[in-house]
Structure 1
Amino acid sequence: MLNFKGMRFPIDVILVCLRWYAGYPLRYRHLEEMMEERGMSLDHSSINRWAIRFLPLIEKMAWKHKRPVGCSWHMDETYIKVKGVWKYLYRAVDNQGKTVDFLLAAKRDMAAAKRFFDKAIGANGDPDKIAMNKSGANKAAIDAINAGRDVPIVVRQVKYLNNIVEQDYRAIERVTKPMLNFKSVRSAGTVLAGIELMHMIRKGQFEIDDADAMSFAEQFFTLTGPVRPV
């Protein structure tokens, strides 16, 4: 359970702000204005602190209910600007477009790619094959993983095969684009965890009772606990 002890504002107010921020192309100041219209005076910096504190915890809780993904993955890396410097968001989806995993890294190299693959495989099991771009670093990371396996993961480095993951990233970019420059890799990573969570909810990736009868908001609140939206 999330620990909201010591918070000035009700739990439902905090979670509504986090859901809106992670789910829609909004800035913290937009949420400050929106909550003021609802009669709640809060500072945008408070919402920022809530995002840093709670979004990664919520994503971790939700991950326990994540449906299994397929065994054919499509992996790519893209760019996220942090304090004026480009960092690298590694992502993978399966053949159905379901999110496998993601990782924000400071560098684009073999070590970062291997951290991503280790994380994705640890959480989702072994894939049969992975489609990726022509990056030598990504291929070297899989080669290192395959070196210790009896049955290697098949790698396909054909650009058009990765259209599915490139298209999927647009939903993430739509939310991150209006956000002002992230101030640290940590803050960027925590916010991205929330954005990826909301994206997975929209794709129906969580085992939730009666999910088909629920809105995305209701699914989010079900994953975070017995809290209703304001």
Structure 2
Amino acid sequence: MAGAANIPSLLSGRISANEIRKRRIHRRSFSQWRWHLDEVFVRINGETHYLWRAVDHEGEVLEVFATKRRDRKAALKFLKRTMKRYGRPRSIVTDRLRSCRSTMTVIGNAADQECGRWLNDRAENLHQPFRRRERAMARFRGMKTLQKFAGAMA
């Protein structure tokens, strides 16, 4: 009975945490409003797929997107989807992937892109818990499962 009484308080806590997160993400008065974009290789039934992830400067996962390719078209689709939801960032940190550079040129954001040796560690470190959970699940069997799992992990 004591556990049943805690359920409404847990739900209200989760709802209020989501509201705080929404307000914090959409408020752009930060001096370093910065996104970190990264991709990670994922095997699904023996085929390589890519999981794209956008993280803000506080470590909050903004968007997760699974694709079959790692080209400019996939990066452009991911970036447009993220910008439509969260607006335009002041700067974007990426690794030295050429498709990211060409995507920034297409969008007109090339001057705001930053590439550096340790700049993208915020996004890279988020792959570690994902890999641990992936190993525990004994891999993925479908793209839809990967997308659901990655969204829940965020």
Which TM-score band (shorter chain)?
0.7 to 0.9
- 1:54-106 CA deviation, whole Å, 9 max, x = no partner? xxxxxxxxxx8452436211111111111111210111211111112111111
Call closer, same or farther: CA 1:122–1:153 in 2, change over 3 Å.
Answer: farther
Q: CA deviation at 1:177?
A: 2.0
Q: Which runs of 5+ in 1 are unaligned?
A: 1-63, 197-230
Q: CA deviation at 1:111?
A: 0.5
Q: Distance in 2 between matches of 1:168 and 1:91?
A: 9
The structure whose Rg is larger is 1
Call closer, same or farther: CA 1:116–1:153 in 2, change over 3 Å.
Answer: farther
Q: Which runs of 5+ in 2 are unaligned?
A: 1-17
Q: Percent identity?
A: 21
- Asked if 2 retains the 8 angstrom alpha-carbon contact of 1:132 and 1:159, the reply is no
Q: Which residue of 2 aligns with 1:182?
A: 140
Q: Which residue of 2 aligns with 1:118?
A: 80
Q: Distance in 2 between matches of 1:113 and 1:153?
A: 17
Among candidates 56, 69, 76, match of residue 107 of structure 1: 69
RMSD of equivalent CA atoms? 2.1
Amino acid in the other structure paired with 2:64: F
Which structure carries more relative contact order (alpha carbon 8 Å, separation 6+)? 1
Whether 1:156 and 2:114 are equivalent positions in the alignment is: yes
Counterparts in 2 of 1:88-103, with a 5 A limit?
A: 88-103=50-65
Q: CA deviation at 1:153?
A: 5.9
Q: Which residue of 1 aligns with 2:151?
A: 193
Counterparts in 2 of 1:63-142, with a 5 A limit?
A: 65=19, 66-67=21-22, 68-69=24-25, 71-142=33-104
Q: Distance in 1 between matches of 2:38 and 2:65?
A: 11
Instruction: Output the TM-score relative to the length of structure 2.
Output: 0.75
- Asked if 2 retains the 8 angstrom alpha-carbon contact of 1:128 and 1:153, the reply is no
- Asked if 2 retains the 8 angstrom alpha-carbon contact of 1:134 and 1:159, the reply is no
Q: Which residue of 1 aligns with 2:12?
A: none
Q: Distance in 1 between matches of 2:73 and 2:117?
A: 22
Q: SS where residue 172 of structure 1 aligns?
A: helix
Instruction: Output the TM-score relative to the length of structure 1.
Output: 0.52
Q: Would you say how many aligned residue pairs link Structure 1 and Structure 2?
A: 130
Amino acid in the other structure paired with 1:154: D
Q: SS where residue 182 of structure 1 aligns?
A: coil
- Asked if 1 retains the 8 angstrom alpha-carbon contact of 2:54 and 2:123, the reply is yes
